[in-house]
Structures are given as C-alpha cells and as structure tokens.
A and B are shown apart, each in its own frame.
Chain A
Amino acid sequence: MSAALLEISDLRTEFDTDDGLSVPVDGVSFSIPEGKTVGLVGESGCGKSLTALSVMRLVPPPGRTVSGQVAFRKRDLLSLSERQMREVRGRDISMIFQEPMTSLNPVMRIGAQIIEPIVLHEGASRREARERGVEMLEKVGIPEASRRFYDYPHQMSGGMRQRAMIAMALSCGPALVIADEPTTALDVTIQAQILELLRTLQAEMGMSVLLITHDLSVVAQLADEVVVMYAGSIVERASAENLYAHPLHPYTEGLFDSLPGFHARQERLNVIRGQVPDPTHYPGGCKFRPRCSYEYEKCAERPGLLKGTDEHLAACWLVEDTERRKKPQTQRV
C-alpha cells in the first residue's frame, strides 16, 4: 500500500440545533494513499460532505469539529492556525463542489476566479497567472480557452462550468483534490465526460482524489479504494474490487441490491426498509440495526471496524460470526 497522504482518525463534528446536539460526523477514520482515488459513498445526509468540510476546516457555524486528527503528510490540520490552514487550502488540498452554477461567483469572470489561487499561493504575476489559467482551461478540455477565460459563469454550459471548476482546483497542482458529488448535477452523458477527465488528469498529475458520491456506478469507474459511510460513521472500507465482489456490511449489500437491474430484470425494486437515523438521536448499539435483516442480540453493542481480511474492514459483528450470514426469508420488501 502506498504511503498515506491523508489520515483521518476519529473525526467528530457537532452542530447545536433546536432539537439537541447533532453529530453528523461521528468518529470517522480512514486514510487516503498517495496518488490513489478513494471513493466516499453514502446516502444524502450521512455526513460525507461534512467530513470533507471538516478536513478543510470549512464547517459552517454553528458546527464545529470537536475531536479527532487529520494528518496531512504527518501534520495535524486540526491543530494549525487559520493562516497556516489557508496556505494548505487551494495549494495542497483543493475542493470541487457539486453545483458549479452556485459554486462559482456569478459576477466575476471565470478567468479571474481561476487565477486567484495562483496569484495568492505562488506569487505569480497576473500575466503569468493568466497564461497558466488559460493552459488549465485547455487541459480540462474547454474549447477556445483564451476567449472563454473572460466569460462569466452563466455564459457557460453546466459541463463546461464543472470543467472550469476542476481547472480552478488543479491550478496550483495540489496533492489532494476533494470532489464532492462532482457529477450529480450534470446530465448523464456529461457525467461520463467529467469522470473521464478526472481520471486522465489524475494519471497525468499524480494527485490523490477523494471522490464523494452517493452513486455506486461513479465510484466503480474511478475509485481504487472505497469507504462506505452511514449515519456519520464508516461502516465498510475496502478496495473497489473487493467491495463490489463481496460486500461485508449489510448496508453495503443493501445499496448494491437496490440498484435497479443490478441482478437480472426484477419485478419489484429492492429497498432498504426504514429510514436514516436523525443525527441528534442515533440509536444505541449498531446504528444500522433497526433496518438490518441480519440483526441479532450482539448488535446491541456497537461494533468498531472489524477486519474481514487485512484490506477489507466492516463495522458488523457478522465479520466475526460469519455463519449468521445466510439470507433470511423476510429480507425482500
């Protein structure tokens, strides 16, 4: 395994709400190796975006990261001063967001937004930065880049905007790019293009990618390793191959099963019964228990990440009690 570029240990982020303390990031631990793509998968509301924001220390108030460690090249990001953190942002770690229309400043030209980090982090002159910016736009596949440099976001199509975002994120050659649902807001055909672009750029520039998504097919195309998140906690970690071949956690199983047409054509869609728990009131014991068809008495105690094999971990007692892993009759809804 390559050296870990980013190691997250026991990250915990809280929010004060009217209904009590909400803990959307509840003891998250995983790592991102150099030069690889890690997919962070989970349903909406499970805390994936907040995990990314916690790493970047951009959690909006009233949220705050209260404990844990985020070791980037052995430096704990959570202990840095704000000024030091600002040097990391955009230069060492950058971020791509889901909705390019709202993630780009509507009253500033694209070019101006792209060169900002270059001028800031590398002290380049505006002319140098402009050349680099146009280069980046070409690299992400935007035609007539030198003209488009002066466009406003609303003058571009969705796909082009997302490419521009990617250009902006990569402009300083960061070691890690966090892509938060980069294709969710795009048409299916454009999705494929963007994913392909990300793959090419990664191969060329050698950075690590943390790909956050709820879409398993997206993960399948890009990720080397996959981390599955549920209700604020990591429930499974494995290489992409292993995960898809034999998922260990019932939630992951359920995710695969609920993909239409994953098996042969079926009469009814499979859903995971129940609902995601409220981050202010997590159930005791295993968080997935209320929805799990395999659950038994041991589940009253919350499992940590247990080793299935050396490379494949899951937070489920079934990892130890493998004989209980037969499919019960009442599973299908």
Chain B
Amino acid sequence: MTSYIIRRVLVAIPLLLGMTFLAFMVIQLGGGEYFAELRLNPQISRETIEQIEQQFNLDKPAVVQYFYWLKNVLKLDFGYSFSRMASVTGLIRGRVLATMLLSTSSILVTWLVAIPLGIYCAVHRYSWGDRFASFFAYIGISIPNFFLALLLLYLASVVGILPLGDMTSAKFDDLSLASKVLDIGKHLIIPTVVIATAAMAGLQRLMRGNMLEVLRAQYITTARAKGLPENRVIYVHALRNAINPMISIFGLQFSSLLGGAALTEIVCSWPGLGSLMLEAVRARDLYVVMGDLLIGGILLIGGNLLADVLLAWTDPRIRLE
C-alpha cells in the first residue's frame, strides 16, 4: 500500500511541474502589466520600479522566471502579491482553510443525505418517493450553482434570518468562541446548500443506479434463497457491493468540489481560494494566480489519490493482490 502511494506521488510530480510550466507560459502570453498602478503613482520613482522588477526577476525571459518561481516554491515561498503588497504564502494559507471548511461541510451534507436517499429510491423503485427524489435530483443537477446561490441569497434577504455572504459578521472578533463557531456556521449554510444540492443530486442517482444493479446480481438471489430477511439482503449484502465504486467517487467529488465551489464562493463572498483566484486574475497578480493553481492542482491530485487508496483498501479483491 505505501509503495502504491509513493508511486502515485512520484507520477504526480512531473504532472504538476508540466502543468505549472504550461500555465506560467500561458499567463505570460497575456502580457503582465503588474505595476500599472505603481507607475501612475508619482511618489514612486522609475528607479524604484526597475529595482522591484529586478528583485523579482521580471526583466528576464519567461522561461527563466519560471525556474526562479519554482525554486522559491520549493522553499515554500510562493512569491509576492503586487496588488496587495503581501506574501502570497500567507494569503493562500488563510484562504485554503476557508475553502477546506466549505468543501468539508458540503461533502458531509451531500453524503449524509444522498446515500440513504439513493438506497431508499432503489429499494422502492418507481414509488412516489422515488419519482419525487428523481425530479429534485434532476433540478439539482441542472440548476446553475450561481443561479441557485443568487436565488437563495435573494430569499434570505427577504426572509432575513441568514447572513448574506462572507464568512463572518462584522462583530466577529467580539464574540465568544461558541458564538464564533455559530456565526461561521450560519454563514456556511447558503454556500453549503448550493454546493451540496448539485453534488447530492448526482450522487443519489449514482447510488440508486448502483443499488439497482447490485440487486440484480446472482448473489442477491442466493442470499434470498438462504431465507435471509430482506433488510439483511439490502443493507449487508447489497449495500457493501454498491458502495464500493462510490468510495472512489468520494475522492473525486472532493476534487471536483474545489472547481465548482469557486464560483459559489465568489457569489456568496466566501473568502476562499476561488475568490482569491478571481481577484488575482482581475488584478493580473501573477504569483497569486500561480500559487492558487498549484494548490488547486495539488488538492485535485490529492483527492484522486485519496479516492484510489480508499478503493484499494475497501475492496478485498484489490487489497489482497
């Protein structure tokens, strides 16, 4: 198992390098006027700007710049944000936590609802409950995240009990620890619902499909032929098989949640990696963009790896090889 993980990590590294290199080059294509604002500022002399340029190697050709960036990254220095005058590493650190928090709560909600619902729909196929759930699943998959977010924000503004966006209220720092947790929780609700809705819909359909397929299997007939009660047939024999392919989905969902979450983060003003990316792109803040992409890529690969490891661990057919 450990050798498997190590192998995967080793394979991932050149992939990440290649990806970051490509991205770096592509962004350079767009031309980087990083210091437009600074240049306009009469208090900063030309020499100062040129000095900064040299300091960050921005006067050198693109390929060389890439390697300087890479060297720093290996020292865990992601560079400097020109628009915010801050270290990128610090910026990202704060945002990563926020994004992880949102992703975690979304995944939890998704799985806690979708799995039981999927099982129910498979066992009671074509019942009213099943049709209802399928209908909502369809809506859930089709509704654009940003639209749902805007709708919910609108409803929230009308009803007035939930905060509208951001992660914390204005009075956050004055609150007790418990209240702080509650405050963040309240802010989590709308973005979590938005993200979970789409993810839940797909997962429920998948679970239902898997259960239906497993329930058709020969060993289910065998189990029934032994006189086992239907509950045991479903929740012990069928479920264990139906859930297996879902384990890898878990990891994959985690990765894809990052991409889908970004837009929701932006619409809900949730201060995560997604919002950071948008601001960086708008401000043409090169190092922030690169850092964000790198972290995004790492999280994605990590999610996939987690998925494969979980799958190998739970399926005895693979584990015992």
A56 at the interface (CB under 8 A from B): yes
| A111-148 contact mask (Cβ, 8 Å, vs B): 1 or 0 | 00000110011000000000000000000000000000
State the total of A-B contacts with C-beta under 8 angstroms: 75
**Could you say which of A88, A105, A165 contacts B237, with CB atoms under 8 Å apart?**
A105
**Minimum Cβ distance to chain A for residue B314 (Å):** 8
Please tell me the number of chain B residues within 8 Å of chain A, measured between CB atoms. 21
Closest to A165 in B: B222
Docked Cα-Cα span, A107 to B218, in Å, equals: 14
| B204-224 contact mask (Cβ, 8 Å, vs A): 1 or 0 | 000000000000111101111
**Minimum Cβ distance to chain A for residue B10 (Å):** 29
Within 8 A of A (CB), among B220-263: 221-229, 237, 240-241, 244
**Could you say which of A53, A95, A120 contacts B228, with CB atoms under 8 Å apart?**
A120
Docked Cα-Cα span, A99 to B218, in Å, equals: 8
B317 at the interface (CB under 8 A from A): yes
Q: Is the CB of B317 within 8 A of A90?
A: no
Enumerate chain B residues within 8 angstroms of A89, measured Cβ to Cβ. Answer: 224-227
Enumerate chain A residues within 8 angstroms of B237, measured Cβ to Cβ. Answer: 105, 108
If A152-B316, A152-B317, A152-B320 touch, does A104 touch B222 (CB 8 Å cutoff)?
Answer: yes
Counting chain B CB atoms within 10 Å of each CB, the highest count among A99, A107, A152, A155 belongs to: A107
Docked Cα-Cα span, A95 to B320, in Å, equals: 30
Docked Cα-Cα span, A86 to B221, in Å, equals: 13
Docked Cα-Cα span, A168 to B228, in Å, equals: 13
Docked Cα-Cα span, A87 to B240, in Å, equals: 24
Closest to A92 in B: B227
Closest to A87 in B: B227
B315 at the interface (CB under 8 A from A): yes
Q: Is the CB of A102 within 8 A of B218?
A: yes
Docked Cα-Cα span, A86 to B227, in Å, equals: 4
Docked Cα-Cα span, A120 to B225, in Å, equals: 13
Docked Cα-Cα span, A225 to B230, in Å, equals: 35
If A108-B240, A155-B320 touch, does A97 touch B226 (CB 8 Å cutoff)?
Answer: no
Q: Is the CB of B219 within 8 A of A94?
A: no
Closest to B226 in A: A90
Enumerate chain A residues within 8 angstroms of B228, measured Cβ to Cβ. Answer: 86, 90, 116-117, 120
**Minimum Cβ distance to chain B for residue A290 (Å):** 33
Closest to B217 in A: A102
Please tell me the number of chain A residues within 8 Å of chain B, measured between CB atoms. 30
**Could you say which of A99, A105, A154 contacts B223, with CB atoms under 8 Å apart?**
A105
**Minimum Cβ distance to chain A for residue B208 (Å):** 17
A103 at the interface (CB under 8 A from B): yes
Q: Is the CB of B222 within 8 A of A106?
A: no
Docked Cα-Cα span, A116 to B228, in Å, equals: 8
If A152-B316, A152-B320, A154-B317 touch, does A105 touch B226 (CB 8 Å cutoff)?
Answer: no
Enumerate chain A residues within 8 angstroms of B224, measured Cβ to Cβ. Answer: 58, 89
Q: Is the CB of A120 within 8 A of B227?
A: yes
Docked Cα-Cα span, A165 to B223, in Å, equals: 11
Q: Is the CB of A102 within 8 A of B219?
A: yes
Docked Cα-Cα span, A240 to B222, in Å, equals: 29
Q: Is the CB of A97 within 8 A of B218?
A: yes
Docked Cα-Cα span, A89 to B232, in Å, equals: 15
Enumerate chain B residues within 8 angstroms of A165, measured Cβ to Cβ. Answer: 222
Docked Cα-Cα span, A87 to B217, in Å, equals: 22
Q: Is the CB of B227 within 8 A of A91?
A: yes
| A242-263 contact mask (Cβ, 8 Å, vs B): 1 or 0 | 0000000000000000000000
Q: Is the CB of A121 within 8 A of B317?
A: no
Q: Is the CB of A106 within 8 A of B219?
A: yes
If A105-B241, A155-B320 touch, does A97 touch B222 (CB 8 Å cutoff)?
Answer: yes
**Residues in B lying within 8 Å of A, measured CB to CB:** 216-219, 221-229, 237, 240-241, 244, 315-317, 320
Given contacts A60-B221, A90-B228, A120-B227, 17 further A-B contacts (CB under 8 A): A58-B225, A86-B227, A88-B227, A89-B227, A94-B225, A94-B226, A95-B222, A95-B225, A102-B217, A102-B219, A105-B219, A105-B223, A105-B237, A107-B316, A108-B240, A117-B228, A120-B226
9 nearest A-B residue pairs (beta carbon): A89-B227, A90-B227, A90-B226, A102-B218, A95-B225, A117-B226, A86-B227, A105-B219, A103-B218
